[in-house]
Structures are given as C-alpha cells and as structure tokens.
C-alpha cells in the first residue's frame, strides 16, 4: 500500500533527539527519506540543559533506516548558513529531491527580564530566528526546482502565540518564527509550497529537563502573581514528542494541501489567550 510520503524527502533540523527525532521517525514511517541535521555538540553556554551528541544523531539515522528509508545525517550548526547550504545541497544531490522542511532546531534559556544577558539574547535570536531562516534558505530553492510543490513547517512555540514569562528573548524569537512562516507562505505559494508554523506547548524532551525546570521555578518564585498563567485547558499538562510528530506528519502530507500561512497550536490550550 502506498504511504502518504512515499518517494518524498524531508529535511529536519534538531533531529538528534527530542521532537526532531520523533519527526524523523514518523515521516520515515510514512515513506520519506530523511536529511537529519543537528549541531550534535555543545549548545551555547547560556543553555541550561545538556547538549546532544554525535551518537544521538547517529541513533536517529538508525531509527530512520529501521523504517526502511534512507537517512543522511549531518552535524551542522544552523547558524552557519554556508555549512548548512553545503550539507543540504549534497544530501539533496544524493537523495534526488526535497519536498518537506521541518525547521525544528531551537534553544531556550529562561531568566527573569533583568537577568537575561546580551549573549543569551543573541544566542536565542541567532539560533531560533536566523537559524530558522537559514534552514528555509538552504532548502526552499530545492523544493522550487523540483516543481512538485512541498511543505515547510517552522516550529515555533506557545510562546510565539502568547507571551511566556521569564523568556523575553525566547518569546521574541518564537513570535518572529510565526511571522516568518506567514511571510514565506505569501511568496512561496506560487510554487505550491505551503508554509505553516507549528506551535507546541510543553513537550517532554531534554529541553524541558535538568536545570531548565530549576531556572523556571526560581524565576517564578520571585513573581508569584504570574504563576498559573500557563495552565493547560486539558487534564494532561505535557505532550510527548510523538504527539507533535502527528501534526508534523499531517502538515507534511497532502491531507493538508489547502493549509498554508496558518499557525497550528498543539499546546493543550495554554496559548488560548
Ligand atoms: N520542549 C518544549 O517544551 C517545547 C515547547 C515549545 C516549543 N519547543 C520547540 O520545539 C523545538 C524542538 O525542541 P525540543 O523540545 O525537541 O528540544 P531539544 O533540546 O531536545 O532538541 C532541540 C534540538 O535542536 C538542536 N539545535 C539547537 N541549536 C542548534 C543549532 N544551532 N544547530 C543545529 N541544531 C541545533 C539541539 O542540538 C537539539 O538536538 C525547538 O524549536 C523548541 O524551541 C519546545
């Protein structure tokens, strides 16, 4: 039986672990070959959780191959547009085409407003905004050249829909991602390329672990009136990466062929106001 993404190729950034790995596993299970990009090494020092490794990225590639699809893994920093373009050009040359981009890589370093350093602000914008833009710039022309249309999914956050306290830089970066998706949608629509942002709430990944929780809790302790403003509407408060991958699979497939320039929230209702 033909699968929804049979014969297609997807570029996924931040694919070494967490949501990016879940997207690689899911899209390959639906028939796509995968170009898996990740820094797979030290994240900026402002990031309060562990960095992924080359082994993590290799494990994602193995999981894709276990689904019977091809995987090309590239350890690349999305802030480096030349390196990213080089890796994507080579992988698309090897796999023959590109149909889907999932710009998923991102960082988050929570702090109260007066403790965010210029370096942390710059790291967040460089990765989440410039890196996302670099990803589209490295891949979109290949989709245009294929002449078959495609789907570009920019991973934002509930913090791109409403404000997230103790994350001014992250909130600014994810609002930029939401706007970037809409703006790219306007110009790429003529090539039948759809561009949407996908905005998760809390997801159980390494980003939400370690010193991240302590950093958020210590900020919240100083601002008791802000506690409770990110409560979910549904009983379950945290999604699994596979729950977000369900939405990625839908946006990547022809089932969403008339969906573009939208911001899809999979956030358990935290972004409702
Ligand atoms: N976890 C959450 O609660 C949550 C909520 C909303 C949105 N998000 C967003 O979802 C996306 C995926 O995050 P996750 O939860 O899987 O976190 P994660 O930290 O587990 O995975 C993110 C991946 O991005 C990679 N990455 C970061 N900077 C990079 C760079 N410069 N170049 C290449 N790769 C880089 C990391 O190495 C990592 O493997 C991010 O954009 C994040 O902002 C996460």
pLDDT (mean) for 50-57:
97
Q: Which of 130, 137, 128, 64 is nearest to 98 (CA)?
A: 137
Residue 266 or residue 211, greater confidence: 266
Write the CB contacts of 59 (distance below 8 Å, at least 6 apart in sequence).
Answer: 21
Distance from Cα 106 to the centre of ligand 1, integer Å: 4
For ligand 1, say whether the CB of 245 is within 6 Å of any of its atoms. Answer: no
Task: Write down the pLDDT at residue 186.
Answer: 98
Tell me the pLDDT band of 1, cut-offs 50, 70 and 90. Answer: low
**Which atom of ligand 1 lies closest to the CA of 126?**
31
36 pLDDT above the threshold of 80: yes
**Structure token digits, residue 244:** 């977000």
Average pLDDT, the chain: 95
d(CA 94, CA 231): 46
pLDDT in tens, 154-209: 999 999 999 888 999 999 999 999 999 999 999 999 999 999 999 999 999 999 77
State if residue 44 touches ligand 1 by the CB under 6 angstroms criterion: no
Comparing 108-117, 184-193, 223-232, 259-268, which segment has the lowest mean pLDDT?
223-232
- Is residue 152 a contact partner of residue 110, using CB atoms and an 8 Å limit? no
The model's pTM is: 0.97
Q: pLDDT of 124-157, one tens digit each?
A: 999 999 999 999 999 999 999 999 999 999 999 9
User: What is the distance between the alpha carbons of residues 74 and 15, in angstroms, rounded to a whole number?
Assistant: 10
Q: Per-residue pLDDT averaged across 53-71, rounded?
A: 98
Residue 45 pLDDT exceeds 80: yes
Whether residue 14 has its Cβ less than 6 Å from ligand 1: yes
Q: What does the DSSP 8-state code read for residue 40?
A: -
Selected catalytic residue, list 170, 191, 223, 272: 170
Confidence of residue 216 (pLDDT cuts 50, 70, 90): confident
CB 5 within 8 A of CB 153: no
239 lines ligand 1 (CB under 6 A): no
Residue nearest to atom 43 of ligand 1 (CA): 106
For residue 9, what pLDDT is reported?
A: 98
Active site residue 170: yes
Residue, of 215 and 154, whose pLDDT is higher: 154
Cα 104 to ligand 1 centre (Å): 6
Q: For the ranges 42-51, 64-73, 207-216, which has the lowest average pLDDT?
A: 207-216
Give, using CA atoms, the residue closest to atom 32 of ligand 1: 77
Place of tokens 């972004």: 271
Give the span between the Cα atoms of 179 and 183, in whole angstroms.
6
Percent of the chain exceeding pLDDT 70 equals 99
What mean pLDDT do residues 71-76 have? 98
Query: How many whole angstroms from 190 Cα to the centroid of ligand 1?
Result: 30
| Predicted pLDDT at 273 | 64
Cα radius of gyration (the chain)? 18
Q: Which residue has the tokens 């008339």?
A: 258
Residues of 101-115 as b/e, b for ≥16 C-beta within 10 angstroms? bbbbbbbbbbbbeee
- Mean pLDDT for 60-87 is 98
């Amino acid at each position: 039986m033909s699968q929804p993404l049979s014969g297609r190729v997807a570029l996924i950034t931040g694919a070494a672990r967490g949501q990016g790995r879940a997207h690689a596993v899911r899209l390959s299970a639906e028939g796509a070959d995968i170009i898996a990009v990740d820094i797979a090494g030290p994240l900026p020092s402002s990031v309060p959780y562990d960095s992924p490794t080359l082994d993590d990225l290799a494990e994602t590639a193995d999981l894709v191959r276990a689904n019977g699809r091809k995987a090309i893994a590239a350890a690349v920093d999305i802030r480096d547009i030349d390196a990213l373009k080089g890796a994507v050009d080579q992988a698309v040359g090897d796999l023959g085409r590109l149909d889907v981009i999932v710009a998923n890589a991102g960082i988050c370093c929570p702090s109260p407003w007066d403790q965010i350093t210029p370096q942390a602000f710059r790291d967040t914008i460089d990765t989440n905004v410039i890196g996302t833009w670099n990803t589209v710039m490295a891949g979109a022309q290949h989709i245009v050249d294929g002449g078959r249309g495609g789907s570009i999914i920019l991973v934002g956050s509930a913090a791109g829909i409403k404000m997230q306290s103790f994350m001014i830089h992250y909130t600014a970066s994810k609002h930029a991602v939401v706007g970037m998706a809409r703006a790219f949608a306007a110009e790429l629509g003529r090539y039948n390329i759809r561009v949407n942002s996908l905005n998760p709430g809390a997801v159980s990944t390494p980003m939400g672990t370690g010193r991240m929780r302590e950093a958020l809790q210590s900020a919240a302790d100083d601002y008791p009136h802000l506690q409770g403003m990110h409560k979910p509407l549904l009983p379950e408060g945290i999604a699994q990466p596979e729950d977000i991958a369900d939405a990625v699979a839908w946006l990547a497939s022809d089932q969403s062929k008339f969906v573009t320039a939208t911001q899809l929230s999979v956030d358990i209702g935290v972004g409702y106001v």
